[in-house]
A and B are shown apart, each in its own frame.
Chain A
Amino acid sequence: MSSKEQWATRVGLVLAMAGNAVGLGNFLRFPVQAVQNGGGAFLIPYFVSFLLLGIPLLWVEWSIGKYGGQYGKHSTPFMFHQMNKRWLWKYIGVFGIFTNIAIASYYSYIESWTISYMYHSIVGTFDNMSQHDVASFFSNYLDVSSATTGIPYESLVFFFICLTLNVWILSKGLSGGIEKASKIGVPLLIIFGIFLAIKALTLKAGEQGAINDGFVGLNFLWTPQFDSLANPKVWLAAAGQIFFTLSVGMGSIQCYASYLSKKDDIALNGMAAGWTNEFIEVIIGSSIIIPISIGYFGIDKVVELVQLGGLGLGFRSMPFLFEQWGPLLSALAGFAFFGLLFFAGITSSLAMGQPVMAFLQDEFKWSRNKAAIAFGIAILTLALPTIFFFEYGVFDEYDYWAGTVTLVVFAMLEVILFSWVFGIDKGWKIITESAEIKVPIVYKYILKYITPVILIMVFLGALIRPEKDDWSTLFTSKYELHEESILGKILNKGIVYNKKFFDHTYYIEFDGTVSKVEPNKIEVCDSDGEYHEFKLDKNDKPLVEPKMSIKAGDALYSGFVVNKIFWITASRLLLVSLFLGIAFLVWKAYKKQKTTL
């Protein structure tokens, strides 16, 4: 049972905590954020956020976990209940289980892409493919029904493999599964990362099709644009990056720390794990995708590509770039790149599984195997909508609400609980007792005043983010909500046309030219030259003709149309139901505890 679990070694604990923090974002999100937010100057708000937000949150979460563990509590609802008996806190703790299940359901899907891409790199699927072919391969891969290499339902097959692997490792327990996987995964991803970084930085213009030296990309990424520091958007982006990279606000750190004893240090362990994440993110993460892609595409094209985000750059472009290195090296590089993403991913997804397992083991006395299988079934159930309706925005909805907003809300509330409700004096005692480093006293005040204020500001910033991130319009008549702000999302600001759940006509959402009209699809080229495909059912009738210029809002085809807004609303309801379902289980477990006392 859960209470009999423990970490076997201290290095294992630190690597598992670091593995939890190191994720795909270290290699795909960080470099893109740096490029988009001031280059080298981005590191200034990034470091400030690490010192004022990241480190305090790490200590808070390690402390909550250690404190809860002393009472045999390994999941946040009952850790919070142990800290304050008011009914509300254990339901706020529900976020610490909800977030892990919801994120794992789409994160393990991305993780499965990396296994597939490792396989395709080794068997040479990308050999002689053009950049367009590699990008199309990714789009086809996400279309569940299409088979890229003759494996039917390929994306589903790799997802099952990935999920089974996660469940199997989780069923082996804390030291026998997670700790062993971290001891293998973290060093391997560092080795793969160093290999790719060396290859990236030794790129020479004119060799193997490269148009720039590797250092051109590094120069581009690190050149500081100091004027960006005056823009609040850059500070919010830095705070957000620190937040996501450390995996705080999720409940997984608390869970891992709950398997420590009262005499164990958390101050030094927390720092070792947190800084290892920074090492991998800033040093290795900045030396791979940007230098390689600028080496082959040039700066302008990369600036354009990063608008699609790191995932797009990683999966739509990197295999093509590795192809330039010849068959053997490209297979090795592809395997190493997607291998490092896989190890980064699995050490994080395992950390998402443990809080759920611990909850079921602690509160319902389930065996480890039963809890692991239950976690697998929950993930499978929630992941299927993201797989089948990926193009309808279900995946993005999960990521936005569970992987972004909830983290900030949960962290904000847990810091308030720790510093104000539980009390900073008691909290400080947990951080410093048995500490093997001297924790600067200034952190006691940072924890009480500064970190909660920053978190409230980050939350408010996300709530009312202005259009075009132009904060100067705030409090003026020009102010408009950004479609990605929390309020903008709730009000569906991003949806201008096709506002009904079901309709008889589909209206195009951008300007463009019709390039193909076929019985089963319409293809439209937008003003940036990107092609968009619209699938037609047999009863749908095209209302456009080839070479026709069309404007946003023009009718594209008629038939029975299920609009994106339907899937978005359905996925939000699914997430709310998940939260309420977990809250119900917490209530049931609490009632059970009361009757046994």
Chain B
Amino acid sequence: MNTEALIFMLVSEGIIAATTIYFFVKVLRSKKQFNEKDNHSEAS
């Protein structure tokens, strides 16, 4: 691969992979209660 293509690919994919992992891990580690509703459980 030529250098320009390699740089573009690594930078783009690096940013996307790092950001996705960051947000996903944050979701997984969240201790906040989810769907803590004043309402309903699935019934029907």
> Which residues of B (22-44) have their CB < 8 Å from a CB of A?
23-24, 26-28, 30, 32-44
**Can you list, as one digit per residue, whether each of B2-38 has a CB less than 8 Å from chain A (1) or not (0)?**
1011101100110011011001101110101111111
**Contact across chains for A218 and B4 when beta carbons are under 8 A apart:** no
Q: How far is the CB of A361 from chain B (nearest CB, A)?
A: 9
Q: How far is the CB of A386 from chain B (nearest CB, A)?
A: 33
B17 CB contacts on chain A under 8 angstroms: 279, 283
**Contact across chains for A278 and B42 when beta carbons are under 8 A apart:** no
A39 CB contacts on chain B under 8 angstroms: 5, 8
**Contact across chains for A272 and B27 when beta carbons are under 8 A apart:** yes
Complex Cα distance A279/B39, Å? 35
Complex Cα distance A118/B37, Å? 42
Q: How far is the CB of A224 from chain B (nearest CB, A)?
A: 5
The number of A-B residue pairs with CB atoms under 8 Å apart is 116
**Contact across chains for A265 and B32 when beta carbons are under 8 A apart:** yes
**Contact across chains for A279 and B20 when beta carbons are under 8 A apart:** yes
* Partner-contacting stretch, out of A2-10, A150-158, A455-463: A2-10
Q: List 29 A-B contacts (CB under 8 A).
A: A4-B40, A7-B34, A7-B35, A8-B42, A39-B5, A40-B4, A40-B12, A43-B8, A47-B12, A215-B1, A218-B1, A219-B2, A219-B5, A223-B4, A223-B5, A224-B5, A261-B36, A265-B30, A268-B26, A268-B27, A271-B23, A272-B23, A272-B24, A275-B20, A276-B24, A283-B13, A436-B26, A436-B30, A437-B26
Q: How far is the CB of B32 from chain A (nearest CB, A)?
A: 7
Contact of A222 with B8 at beta-carbon distance under 8 Å, contacts A6-B37, A7-B35 already known = yes
B36 CB contacts on chain A under 8 angstroms: 261, 263-264
**Contact across chains for A278 and B8 when beta carbons are under 8 A apart:** no
Q: How far is the CB of B3 from chain A (nearest CB, A)?
A: 10
B42's partner among A14, A47, A174 (CB-CB below 8 A) is A174
A367 CB contacts on chain B under 8 angstroms: 44
Complex Cα distance A41/B1, Å? 16
Q: Does A427 have its Cβ within 8 Å of any Cβ on chain B?
A: no
Q: How far is the CB of A271 from chain B (nearest CB, A)?
A: 5
**Contact across chains for A368 and B34 when beta carbons are under 8 A apart:** no
Please give 14 more A-B residue pairs, beta carbons under 8 A apart, in addition to A43-B12, A272-B23, A275-B20: A6-B40, A7-B35, A11-B28, A40-B5, A40-B12, A218-B1, A221-B5, A224-B8, A261-B39, A268-B26, A272-B26, A275-B19, A276-B20, A437-B26
A282's partner among B12, B24, B39, B44 (CB-CB below 8 A) is B12
Q: How far is the CB of B42 from chain A (nearest CB, A)?
A: 6
Complex Cα distance A3/B28, Å? 26
**Contact across chains for B28 and A222 when beta carbons are under 8 A apart:** no
Q: How far is the CB of B20 from chain A (nearest CB, A)?
A: 4
Interface SS of chain A: helix, strand, loop or mixed? helix
Q: Does A93 have its Cβ within 8 Å of any Cβ on chain B?
A: no
Complex Cα distance A40/B2, Å? 12
Contact of A261 with B6 at beta-carbon distance under 8 Å, contacts A173-B42, A269-B27, A282-B16 already known = no
Complex Cα distance A173/B44, Å? 9
B20 CB contacts on chain A under 8 angstroms: 272, 275-276, 278-279
A223's partner among B2, B23, B35, B41 (CB-CB below 8 A) is B2
Complex Cα distance A237/B41, Å? 44
**Contact across chains for A175 and B6 when beta carbons are under 8 A apart:** no
Complex Cα distance A211/B36, Å? 58
